[in-house]
Structure 1
Amino acid sequence: MNTLKNSANKEMNGGNEKFIGNEAALMQQFEIIKGFFQTDSGSEMIGSLHAMIESFLFTENLSQVTPEMREHIVNQLRVATLVAKLESSYKGLKGG
């Protein structure tokens, strides 16, 4: 009768096994993220990225935007998303 319960426990605990013994690495990652947000907040960094992209997109030579430039724009937006997620995660870990 406890087969389902035991199966669920194995699934839940199985995901945590990869973190056992990696506490030092996790703390180091946390310190890197903490240092990253010491200078500027995530919203300030994202604002800078967006301002840079907007100034580029509203130039008169927009017709000369190459596929490579478009790829750079997409990458900048992906970085902004990453920064937002990191800041949200960091604030959650530090308690506010």
Structure 2
Amino acid sequence: MNTLEESKSQEATGMKTDFNGQESALLKQHQIVKEFFMTDSASEMIESLNIMVENFLFSENLVRVTPEMRVHIVNQLRVTTLIAKLDRNKVVCSR
């Protein structure tokens, strides 16, 4: 740990590197994700979202699906993909 070099580097770049705020935010995000998966399993959440989308898509009123509704459907499917990715990587996050 060479504080003189760090000080010169900070002066040269005009930037001060302070990771305390970032580390705290990352730890908080990690805790939120951890608690999220403790509530329900990823497969339960994905199944629930997919059932909602399937029920909607196979309803008789599909003709009345607006562009806005289609955007919501796509967003729900993107959420299921995110949940699946987070679930696959939760072993890495819990270390």
TM-score under structure 2 normalisation? Answer: 0.72
What is aligned with 1:67? 67
What is aligned with 1:51? 51
Give, in whole Å, the separation in 1 of the partners of 2:40 and 2:78: 18
CA deviation map 1:35-60 (0-9, x unaligned): 11111011110110000000001111
AA in 1 matched with 2:66: T
CA deviation map 1:45-80 (0-9, x unaligned): 011000000000111111111111111100100111
Structure 1, 79-88 or 42-51: larger mean CA deviation = 79-88
What is aligned with 2:39? 39
Identity %: 56
Q: 1:32 to 1:19 in 2, by over 3 A?
A: farther
Secondary structure of residue in 2 paired with 1:60: coil
Shift of 1:19: 9.1
Tell me how large the CA RMSD over aligned residues is: 1.9
Give, in whole Å, the separation in 1 of the partners of 2:43 and 2:18: 30
Give, in whole Å, the separation in 2 of the partners of 1:39 and 1:19: 34
Q: How many residues align?
A: 78
Q: Which runs of 5+ in 2 are unaligned?
A: 1-16
Which structure would you say has the larger Rg?
Answer: 2
AA in 1 matched with 2:40: D
Question: Structure 1 stretches (4+) deviating beyond 4 angstroms?
Answer: none
